[in-house]
Structure 1
Amino acid sequence: MHSPLHRQSVFIVEDDASVRDALSLLLSLRGYPTALFACAEDFLGALTPDWRGVVIADIRMPGMSGLEMQEALAKHPSRLPVIIITGHGDLAAARQAFRWNAVDFIEKPFDHAQLLAAIERGMAGLPPDASALGTRPAATALSQREREVLALVVDGVDNRGIGERLGISPRTVEVHKSRIMTKLGARNLAELMRIANAAGKDAA
């Protein structure tokens, strides 16, 4: 593990050594100092309140998960912003990550531009998606039915459950979700969760 610098660094918490090294190389080429940790326990054990920067954490690691680490970090004096990366993403995991104010939730293999943009947002101290929200249509552009569907999506209800609550078919739910994502500029459900979370669920 490289000693973190007092200027803003990227702290990579990932059990896969090849992913750690690849991220470190990518970020070093972009001018970011990096500090590497193989598990959440090592990172939290070394963390001090004077560290500055952004944390990139994998969800699935031996011992404490990335989401559990994020929850612990939210209560730490350093209050470092966190970007969650995962090869096993699902809506429930995304919802939990954003509940603890993740900067982003990115599925592997991830787009480098998306990751770098998330790091920049975290370094700048912006809300999770404030920069992106400024370029996207307002949630008020959604119809009443679309707002109802979005509220249930954010709560983690699946298509069948949404259909049962609203009296529509799962296929119709899928159509509504597709329209919502188009209107809000979301590329996937994880990004839709990020947009809704950053807006304080006003879209619902």
Structure 2
Amino acid sequence: MSASKAITIHLVDDDEAFRDSLVWLLESHDYSVVCHEHAEAFLAGFRPQAVTGCLILDIRMPGMSGLELYEELQARGNRWPVIFITGHGDVPMAVQAVKRGAHDFLEKPFNQEALLQAIDNALAAAANLQQDAAQASLCEQRLQTLTTREREVLERVIEGKMNKVIADELGISIKTVEAHRGKMMDKMGVRTIADLVQTVVAYRQQKPKASS
């Protein structure tokens, strides 16, 4: 199995002929493609999951439009890169979607090379999201191993407070702060304060609602 088979491209378009031609093109380049004839069909089977591919959405469809589908997916926390397919009259709408986080859009008619390049870029973005999610998961696991006191020290360290200040705030000795700090750093798998700050900040950006 090739590397590209590990990912899935979801195509949502009401034009059967267009879907068939796109599937033929993408499968000939060894991509796995799942088609949906309308937004409601895709949404019915949508489950939040790790980012392992991208979405190609027709921006204007009967019923729920591609733009409405995108907005609904955003509300549900979807982070898969989205490529919109648009006609000339819908370009301003597609531009606004990109400003709100969509990955790219292609105006019909487009050539195969443009589509394949857009997909490659979207999949590269998806790989980065997957890596970020894995790092956030590891950070969360490590945070769970900290004692209450170690967590208190961590919070103050990433605020840039010196050991003496931390000792005064927590009512403990500087030596005790140093001991907790050393254990906390070991558990977090970091060697410097800069690494600690970068790790925790990245985690909180990935999971803003996490109680970290």
Q: TM-score range by the shorter chain?
A: 0.5 to 0.7
Q: Secondary structure at the match of 1:105?
A: strand
- Greater fraction helix: 2
User: Which residue of 2 is the match for residue 19 of structure 1?
Assistant: 18
**Deviation for aligned residue 1:91:** 4.4
**Deviation for aligned residue 1:97:** 1.5
User: Which residue of 2 is the match for residue 201 of structure 1?
Assistant: none
Partners of 1:77 and 1:93 lie apart in 2 by: 21
Amino acid at match of 2:21: A
User: Which residue of 2 is the match for residue 81 of structure 1?
Assistant: 81
1:154-184: CA deviations, max 9, x gaps?
Answer: xxxxxxxxxxxxxxxxxxxxxxxxxxxxxxx
User: Which residue of 1 is the match for residue 61 of structure 2?
Assistant: 61
User: Which residue of 1 is the match for residue 123 of structure 2?
Assistant: 123
User: Is residue 55–residue 82 contact of structure 1 (8 Å, CA) maintained in 2?
Assistant: yes
Structure index of larger Rg: 2
1:47-83: CA deviations, max 9, x gaps?
Answer: 1123621100101111111111111122334421100
RMSD over aligned Cα atoms: 2.1
Partners of 2:86 and 2:95 lie apart in 1 by: 14
1:173-200: CA deviations, max 9, x gaps?
Answer: xxxxxxxxxxxxxxxxxxxxxxxxxxxx
Amino acid at match of 2:44: G
Q: State the identity as a percent.
A: 45
1:13-52: CA deviations, max 9, x gaps?
Answer: 0000000010111000011100000111111111112362
Alignment of 1:1-204 (within 5 A): 7-50=6-49, 52-125=52-125
Amino acid at match of 1:86: T
Partners of 2:70 and 2:47 lie apart in 1 by: 15
Amino acid at match of 2:72: A
What TM-score do you get using the length of structure 1 for normalisation? 0.55
Q: Which consecutive residues of structure 1, in runs of 5 or more, have no partner in the other structure?
A: 1-5, 127-204
User: Is residue 40–residue 69 contact of structure 1 (8 Å, CA) maintained in 2?
Assistant: yes
Q: Secondary structure at the match of 1:125?
A: helix
Partners of 2:53 and 2:123 lie apart in 1 by: 6
Runs ≥4 in structure 1, deviation > 6 angstroms? none
Amino acid at match of 1:15: D
User: Is residue 56–residue 85 contact of structure 1 (8 Å, CA) maintained in 2?
Assistant: yes
